[in-house]
Structure 1
Amino acid sequence: MPAEPLLLAAMRIDKWLWAARFYRTRALAAQAVAAGRVRLAGNAVKAAHILRCGDELEVNLGDLRWTICVIALAQQRRSASEARQLYHESLASSERRTAQEAARRLVPEPARELGGRPTKKAGRLIRNFTDRE
């Protein structure tokens, strides 16, 4: 007979961020919380802060900002589809993220036109320029 999953009432915020797949490791989640990139109800917290269902989190990942509500707690890290069931993202947050992602796709990458390694001629020009005294 398989054991039923343990229902949690509370857990550490860094462990939940790892289980919800916002960060690859728990150490990265703890660093993000310590750096102030994760806020609980608008306030900076420590990695050991206790998280409960219904708490509002603001998570900054690079230039993307997620505003989420914690729905469930998970002791273990599961698949991405199961991790999405641990939280609910606000509509405004979702619209803001999709707009940022669309704007990022429109702007070309800074070094996109550079085609890899320099040619022999370009290499000679670079060496001549840098070897001057």
Structure 2
Amino acid sequence: MAEVRIDKWMWATRIFKTRTIAAEACKKNRVMIQGVNVKASRMIKVGDVIQVRKPPITYSFKVLEVTERRMGAKMVPQYLENVTTADQYEILELNRISGFVDRAKGMGRPTKKDRRELEQFAGPDAMDDFDFDFDFDTDNE
């Protein structure tokens, strides 16, 4: 098998929980190859680098092998390499702690307005449809 649909591959390698969610991400222009938005039917091959924009950051994955079959989390590193840059992970870390840093001590609980502002900053679906059951090698510098 030399090529496979991008939505099938992203589902099989556990980037998304379901193939439907993977296809929706393509439809919402959140999946790119070389900076160009791709459709769910786009065929990928070994060596392609896929960018998945998941607000607030963009993950990058290099295709090591193609497959259409979903696999266990331990097998995923054989099929993809996480090439996400360190600056993207810094953005993610800043986003995680920002809710705590912005509030001055003694301000009490966040108001509805505060919650809405935080949700708008993080995005409506910040991390809900990724299926990362495995650890990424984060020493890519």
TM-score by length of 1: 0.68
Alignment of 1:36-115 (within 5 A): 36-90=29-83, 93-108=84-99, 113=109
What percentage of aligned pairs have identical amino acids?
27
- Alpha-carbon RMSD: 2.2
**Residue 24, structure 1, aligned to residue 17, structure 2:** yes
- CA deviations on 1:87-108 (whole Å, 9 max, x unpaired) are 1222xx2412321232123212
Deviates most, 99-108 or 35-44: 99-108
Q: Deviations over 1:51-95 (max 9, x none)?
A: 1001121111232211221111122111223223311222xx241
CA contact (8 A) 1:20 1:86 kept: yes
Separation of aligned partners in 1, 2:67 and 2:88: 25
TM-score, reference length from structure 2: 0.65
Q: What's the secondary structure of 1:53's corresponding residue?
A: coil
Count of residues in Structure 1 that have an aligned counterpart in Structure 2: 105
- SS in structure 2 at match of 1:107: helix
Structure 1 gap segments, 5+ residues each: 1-7, 115-133
Structure ID, larger Rg: 1
Q: 2:88, 2:36 → 1: CA distance?
A: 21
> Which SS does the other structure have where 2:44 is aligned?
strand
Matching residue of 2:125: none
Confirm or deny: 8 A CA contact 2:56 2:92 kept in the other structure: no
- Confirm or deny: 8 A CA contact 2:31 2:52 kept in the other structure: yes
AA partner of residue 57 (structure 2): L
